[in-house]
Amino acid sequence: MTRVVLLGASPGPDISPTGLRLAALSGNPTVSERLRSQLTSMDPRFATIPTDDVATALRALADVAEQATESLFIIPENSVVHDELIYQITKSKRGALALVAKEPRVGVTEDNGLEENGPEDNPVEDRIPIDEADPEIGMNRVEGLPVRVRIGKSRVVSVGTASHAVTRPNAVVLGPLHVSARNAPKLAETCRELAAMADRFGADDDLVQLVVFGLVRNGVSVGIRGRRDLFYRRVTTQEEINEAGAEMAGMNEDRARLNNAVKGADGFFTTFFVSTYSRYIARWAARRGLTPNQVTLISIVLGVAAAACFATGDRPWMVLGGVLIYFAFVFDCVDGQVARYARKFGVLGAWLDATFDRFKEYVVFAGLAVGWVVSGNGEEIWILALAALGLQSVRHLLDFSFGVANRRKPPAPLPTTPLDAPDDRDLRQKLTARKVERSQGVRGVLKMWTKAGKYRAVHWARKMIVFPIGERFAAIAITAALFDARITFITLVIWGSVAAAYTLTGRLMRSLV
Amino acid sequence: MITQPQAMATPTPDPDEERRRIQTARLVAYRDDGPLAHALSSKIGAGLPPVPATLVALLAVVAITVAGLLGSGGPILLLPVAIVLLLVLPTTPRDHLGRFDWLTPPLLRAAEFFTIIAVGLAADAPKWLLFVLVYVVGYHTYDTVYRTRQSIWPPAWVFRAGLGWELRLLVIGVGAALDVLTPVLAVLTAYLFVLFAVESVTSWVRLDKASAQAGADAEQDLEASPEDALEQATGEAEKG
């Protein structure tokens, strides 16, 4: 569950601009009514904090954060937002996550704008390298908010206020902020510190931006995400509300939800030969009321059928088996997508999915070996099948064990800087020092290798070499359909051994640092 | 000179220490030690460092297999089992908090599988039966991982009744040495299959899934690689 905090709401009758109506939506709700109904489903007794006085509001926020036993979701009252966006932000696994918008730049495309702070920064527009740039008080505005936030690739680097300069501000914090339970005490402490210095903030400083300012200076890693294919806007006038309502109604929220149900970070084969269309099967299944577990069952049936086809040892059946094992894998991806799309999660479902993935894979090994023997070949094929089975099981266990190893420390904590420092020079110097410290010796090699991932070829080669599930099922389908069981097992053993050597090298190195 | 004892310091539990304890409990569970290993662990003192001992055991079994020592059959088939037991049983008292100790469960499972296959082939046991046995033992390991990842621990008796790697190997070694490996394998495989299958089904039927769901990370991907999971949580990529 999530503790929801609504900023700007007064406890009395609704007299704010948020009393204006969103005519484009069905039911013609007011901005406030709509947002409140969206939030009630998450937290029936969400907290409301008036924001007329910054210090009082910050103290009230500190009180809520102190009592929170779960994660906190903070959102301004004049927000017009898609349900799905709220859902995605509150399901984040980051310690803190803020919705941000980048300041549009003339002559610079959005893509190369999302960079980590560093010397490679904006060579086109800014002649002075960022390391020599002077911190400034951001005066530009994006959607009515002052541009006083510097964002990097994945988190907020630095934030300023009306009296705190920030180096090269490039974004605004839009409003919604999610803080995990483990950071709630830090949030409370930060809000109290901020409240004590409230006279230094300007009238144009947004409350959430101030909170993020405090969190970042206190060393909390605040992740960022953009709106992507979803809608968020803060509104004050009827004109803005009409615009927002129309624009939001024109966006396809269901499509965004479906896209979000597809897991990122998948392998090459899964990304290009399954994920391109599996979401439509998932939506079809969800709309027909199929549960994720029923989809898992379909996948199991397809997998066993494929094994049975392979067990005949006849070429036409082997080809059919290849096709069936491919679709068994497609439905294996679909069950997770149905779960995420329909938001039906269960411990049993997750266990069944994982356990029967293994079963499908290994029952196909057995099918292939049986097929080889019944078509008149030697029993030695079982030795290859055993090698493939043993290798894959041990490779999985290598993954699992490394995952729980006590040596896996979280990344080094971020530097802190006093809240009353007038600019962020000190913070930037510490960040640079941290970066240098993190790129020495073995760490440097690992970091270079991580950075090489920006080249598409390296990125995908690295995904393929670890022989993920998609590649394994594809390798089985293709080699079994075109060649024979022996070739399949040899492929699995060789590719699997290369993958094991590769991942072991990386992990042994990482265990050294 | 009298030195003051330092033992009075800080009884407060360190959260990092606590995290290590929980993680290491899972790592040790992945080893799948059985009743014999547990009975011995308190009686053999400090024990051997787990990674070198297990690695040497694996390499030794591979070496004697490749050298063809197992070809003649008979009591020599107890040799690989004896090597693994003698080298790996003394590692059970260790805390597995070392830098490379995450290598122990995969190395141990590799040694177990390799020994089962090598002994089974040398004793001319049905190969498909070996395949089923390796799958059933593998299933138990996967099951342990997937359940503990959702903070649902399998009951302790399953690990004992599953005999652990050491008793499974011992049963197979003795069966091979006495030249009765095929019936022994058949009984062992059937027993483990029924045990793990029945336990899984009854556990899931009995489990209060709603409260288990509350304790688990709802959208956790049980099959995610550790690198992907870390990147999701911290935004910092770590690939290699």
- Asked whether residue A469 carries a pLDDT value surpassing 80, the answer given is yes
What CA–CA distance (Å, rounded) separates A303 from B236? 36
Coil, strand, or helix at residue A250? coil
What CA–CA distance (Å, rounded) separates A363 from A280? 28
What would the pLDDT profile of B173-198 be if each residue is shown by its tens digit? Answer: 999 999 899 999 999 999 999 999 99
Q: Which of A20-24, A150-154, A479-483, B63-67 has the lowest mean pLDDT?
A: A20-24
Q: Which of A325-339, A350-364, A427-441 has the lowest mean pLDDT?
A: A427-441
What CA–CA distance (Å, rounded) separates B214 from A195? 35
Sign of CA dihedral A264, A265, A269, A270: negative
Rounded to the nearest angstrom, the minimum Cα separation between B97 and chain A is 6
- The confidence band for A10, taking pLDDT boundaries of 50, 70 and 90, is low
Angle among Cα A347, A348, A351 to the nearest 5 degrees reads 90
Q: Which of A130-134, A282-286, B78-82, B89-93 has the lowest mean pLDDT?
A: A130-134
What CA–CA distance (Å, rounded) separates A388 from A396? 12
Q: Which of A18-22, A285-289, A343-347, B156-160 has the lowest mean pLDDT?
A: A18-22
Q: What is the reported pLDDT for B217?
A: 65
Q: What is the reported pLDDT for A17?
A: 60
What would the pLDDT profile of B101-147 be if each residue is shown by its tens digit? Answer: 899 999 999 999 999 999 999 999 999 999 999 999 999 999 999 99
- The confidence band for B169, taking pLDDT boundaries of 50, 70 and 90, is very high
Residue B109 is nearest to which of A153, A345, A394, comparing CB atoms? A394
What would the pLDDT profile of A346-382 be if each residue is shown by its tens digit? Answer: 888 889 999 999 999 999 999 999 999 998 888 899 9
With a CB cutoff of 8 Å and minimum separation 6, the contacts of A346 are A292, A293, A339, B209, B213
- The confidence band for B77, taking pLDDT boundaries of 50, 70 and 90, is very high
Do the beta carbons of residue A385 and residue A491 sit within 8 Å?
Answer: no
DSSP state, A2? E
List, in sequence order, every residue forming a beta bridge with A76; answer none if it has no partner: A7
Residue B27 is nearest to which of A154, A404, A446, comparing CB atoms? A404
Which tokens sit at A152? 């990097």
- Asked whether residue B56 carries a pLDDT value surpassing 60, the answer given is yes
What would the pLDDT profile of B14-34 be if each residue is shown by its tens digit? Answer: 666 667 777 788 888 999 999
Do the beta carbons of residue A355 and residue A475 sit within 8 Å?
Answer: no
Which tokens sit at A363? 């029952």
Q: Which of A178-182, A422-426, A437-441 has the lowest mean pLDDT?
A: A437-441
- The confidence band for A430, taking pLDDT boundaries of 50, 70 and 90, is confident
Q: Which of A98-102, A253-257, A410-414, A491-495 has the lowest mean pLDDT?
A: A410-414
What CA–CA distance (Å, rounded) separates A230 from A226? 9
Q: What is the reported pLDDT for A9?
A: 59
What CA–CA distance (Å, rounded) separates A302 from A306? 6
What would the pLDDT profile of A278-290 be if each residue is shown by its tens digit? Answer: 999 999 999 999 9
- How, if at all, do strands A2-7 and A71-76 pair? parallel
Would the CB atoms of A397 and B30 count as touching at under 8 Å? yes
List, in sequence order, every residue forming a beta bridge with A172; answer none if it has no partner: A101
Q: What is the reported pLDDT for B13?
A: 57
Would the CB atoms of B222 and A351 count as touching at under 8 Å? yes
Q: For residue A221, which of B237, B236, B230, B229 has the smallest C-alpha distance?
A: B236
What CA–CA distance (Å, rounded) separates A500 from A506? 10
Q: B143 to chain A: nearest residue by CA?
A: A355
Q: What is the reported pLDDT for A203?
A: 83
Question: Chain A contact for B74, CB < 8 A?
Answer: no
What CA–CA distance (Å, rounded) separates A9 from A15? 10
Q: A221 to chain B: nearest residue by CA?
A: B234
H/E element, A511: helix A485-512
Angle between helix B104-122 and helix B78-88 axes, rounded to 10 deg: 170
- The confidence band for A115, taking pLDDT boundaries of 50, 70 and 90, is very low
Q: B197 to chain A: nearest residue by CA?
A: A355
DSSP letters spanning A45-83 = T-EEE--SSHHHHHHHHHHHHHH-SSEEEEEETTEEE-H
Q: What is the reported pLDDT for B2?
A: 43
Q: What is the reported pLDDT for B4?
A: 43
Q: Using a CB-CB distance cutoff of 8 angstroms, which residues of chain B are in contact with residue A347?
A: 150, 152, 207, 209, 212-213, 216
Do the beta carbons of residue B25 and residue B99 sit within 8 Å?
Answer: no
Coil, strand, or helix at residue A153? coil
What would the pLDDT profile of B193-204 be if each residue is shown by its tens digit? Answer: 999 999 999 988
pLDDT-above-90 percentage for chain B:
54
Average pLDDT over residues A3-19: 66
- The confidence band for A249, taking pLDDT boundaries of 50, 70 and 90, is confident
Q: What is the reported pLDDT for A117?
A: 43
- How, if at all, do strands A96-102 and A223-225 pair? parallel
Which tokens sit at A224? 């960022």
What would the pLDDT profile of A75-94 be if each residue is shown by its tens digit? Answer: 998 888 999 999 999 988 88
Would the CB atoms of B225 and A403 count as touching at under 8 Å? yes
Would the CB atoms of B100 and A263 count as touching at under 8 Å? no
What would the pLDDT profile of B93-112 be if each residue is shown by its tens digit? Answer: 888 888 888 999 999 999 99
Reported ipTM: the value is 0.90
List, in sequence order, every residue forming a beta bridge with A71; answer none if it has no partner: A2
Do the beta carbons of residue A158 and residue A166 sit within 8 Å?
Answer: yes
What CA–CA distance (Å, rounded) separates B234 from B220? 15
Measured CA to CA in angstroms, residue B6 lies from A46, B11, B17 at distances of 49, 12, 19
What CA–CA distance (Å, rounded) separates B51 from B38? 18
Average pLDDT over residues A466-493: 94
Q: What is the reported pLDDT for B198?
A: 94
Rounded to the nearest angstrom, the minimum Cα separation between B195 and chain A is 16
Which tokens sit at B196? 């793990």
- Asked whether residue A407 carries a pLDDT value surpassing 80, the answer given is no
Would the CB atoms of A401 and B102 count as touching at under 8 Å? yes
Residue A411 is nearest to which of B26, B213, B236, comparing CB atoms? B236
- Asked whether residue A109 carries a pLDDT value surpassing 80, the answer given is no
Q: For residue A322, which of A484, A97, A185, A486 has the smallest C-alpha distance?
A: A484
Neighbouring CB atoms inside 10 A of A24's CB total 17
Do the beta carbons of residue A126 and residue A117 sit within 8 Å?
Answer: no
